[in-house]
Amino acid sequence: MVENRTIKTAQLKVGMEIHVELSTRSKMFSRSANVAHPDHYDATPNTLVDPVVLGLPGALPVMNRAAIESSIMVGLALNCSIAEFSRWDRKNYFYPDLPKGYQISQYDLPLCFDGELEFIGANGQPQTVSIIRAHLEEDTGKLSHDISCRHGSMHVNALNQSLIDLNRAGTPLLEIVTHPDLKYADDAVIFCQELRNVCRFLNVTGGIMQRGHMRFEPNVNVIITTDEGKQIATPIVEVKNLNSFKAVKGAIEHEFNRQIKQWQETGLEMGAGMKSTRGWDADRGVTVLQREKEDAHDYRYFPDPDLPPVVVTEEWKQSIATCIPELPQQRRRRYVDEYNLTDADALTLTTDFDVSNYFESCIDMLQQRTTSDMTAAHMGKTVAKLLLNAGARRANEHHRELHDLGVTPEQIAQLIEMREANTIGSSAADELFDLLCEHDADATTLAESCGLLQVTDSAQLDSWIAQALEAEPEAAANYAGGKDNALGRIIGTIMKLSNGKADAKSASDQIRRQLRDN
């Protein structure tokens, strides 16, 4: 009998494993400089090494306290419990990027466990992903197989050898593992972005995706409900080593479709030891099988006898907790509460660490400079409006982030002050924003030299009004006869005549007085 494999519904189920390279000064277990620290991003291959990194005979690991503190900080930010006692285990396997033949990791006693991260899902609703654990380990080195491309001058012999770069070996790596709480690829991406954001707010990683500072490994399967109402889970697939959000989305979506198709063809369901590993082929947009279940490694974990356990006292934990800065979620709430921003605007201003910091700096600058009686709430709201309108438009046009437009927080503050003092009109302000993207000069000076300052001088204004009323007699008559909307045409003409420098409000008042008030 042929099984009925008609699908009524199919629900995606995704858990994430996220590797975060910590940007500490030295490596996890040695004094060698860390390639994930900004000072060493582009170090020459195999220069960030010492006997410990090279796994030389007799070399011994010594733990990096800063890496442990960074990890605890992430753990606390993710509402994790911090283990009072955790330890180091050896994960044994052979590979040329692993000079010791084992990786020092944490197996059954991770440093952080049982946490959660809340984020705003693709549907605009808050949702929560549970964190199973976050443990520390050391990164491996890197192999380059494509020798001719990366090392053009290097001699390549007939054996088709690979080259090893151990600069990354021993970099502190925090591995965060979630429950399979995610149901949509888009949400998985937002979750990953939020996690990156949290880590960047905490300043524990550079978070540069292209440099592999964060690597994502989704565990994907699909819960299928058949026409007959039977629920079936497809075998879990782990997609390895994704280092862009695009890849995370692409790989999960592809797996969703592939697993449904595979089930329809084979009827294969999830079972013990069925997990397989796949890689992401970005060019073809497909996942590719890397390891079948039967090849599963036996890593022969055991406690590393070279390292004492990590004991975290309440005191130590508290002192780390006090170093945690305001996190994106808290910032978001504050923007809504204090600045009266909408949820959506608050989200936009907090989903990127640099943008958020830029926004904060602009407000700070305005607070420092201003002599007006603007309230803090008003300042926040005004800066947000400027950045989300004029700023966001330029950012879109230039394919840049807000903070990267070349406008300094000081210039932003000056611009807002000018608007508040009504010395510049709205369209001139917009024009000035463009100029600020290109110039380092003081905003006031720039506005002045470019003739963007508003003209409130009544003689000049009177002359433009007179010219406009003469040019638009019909509109003038209509306005005088009570048609308010006729005023727009007149003001428009005045703005044209003045090259936008006329103060529209003063002009309107003057016209009203002239045509109606007598």
Residues that bind another protein (CB under 8 A): 51, 54-63, 90, 92, 94, 96, 99-102, 159, 164, 298, 300-302, 305-308
- Minimal distance in Å, beta carbon 58 to another protein? 4
- Minimal distance in Å, beta carbon 311 to another protein? 13
Query: Do residues 169 and 33 make contact, with C-beta atoms less than 8 angstroms apart?
Result: no
- Minimal distance in Å, beta carbon 60 to another protein? 5
Contacts of 487 (CB under 8 A, 6+ apart): 475, 479, 508, 511, 512
Nearer to another protein, 45 or 61 (CB): 61
Question: Tokens at residue 329, please?
Answer: 């979620």
- Minimal distance in Å, beta carbon 128 to another protein? 34
Nearer to another protein, 46 or 510 (CB): 46
- What is d(CA 215, CA 244) in angstroms, rounded to the nearest whole number? 8
- Minimal distance in Å, beta carbon 61 to another protein? 7
Query: Do residues 224 and 27 make contact, with C-beta atoms less than 8 angstroms apart?
Result: no
Nearer to another protein, 54 or 402 (CB): 54
- Minimal distance in Å, beta carbon 155 to another protein? 15
Nearer to another protein, 56 or 282 (CB): 56
Give exposure, 324-339, as e/b (b: 16+ Cβ within 10 Å): eeebbbebbeebeeeb
The number of beta carbons lying within 10 Å of the beta carbon of residue 425 is 24
Nearer to another protein, 101 or 488 (CB): 101
Triad 92, 93, 95: Cα angle to 5° = 140
- What is d(CA 260, CA 427) in angstroms, rounded to the nearest whole number? 55
Query: Do residues 223 and 10 make contact, with C-beta atoms less than 8 angstroms apart?
Result: yes
Phi then psi for residue 122, to 5 deg, are -60, -25
- Minimal distance in Å, beta carbon 111 to another protein? 17
Query: Do residues 14 and 230 make contact, with C-beta atoms less than 8 angstroms apart?
Result: no
Nearer to another protein, 233 or 307 (CB): 307
Contacts of 384 (CB under 8 A, 6+ apart): 335, 339, 341, 345, 349, 359
- Minimal distance in Å, beta carbon 169 to another protein? 11
Nearer to another protein, 126 or 308 (CB): 308
- What is d(CA 330, CA 380) in angstroms, rounded to the nearest whole number? 16
Nearer to another protein, 16 or 54 (CB): 54
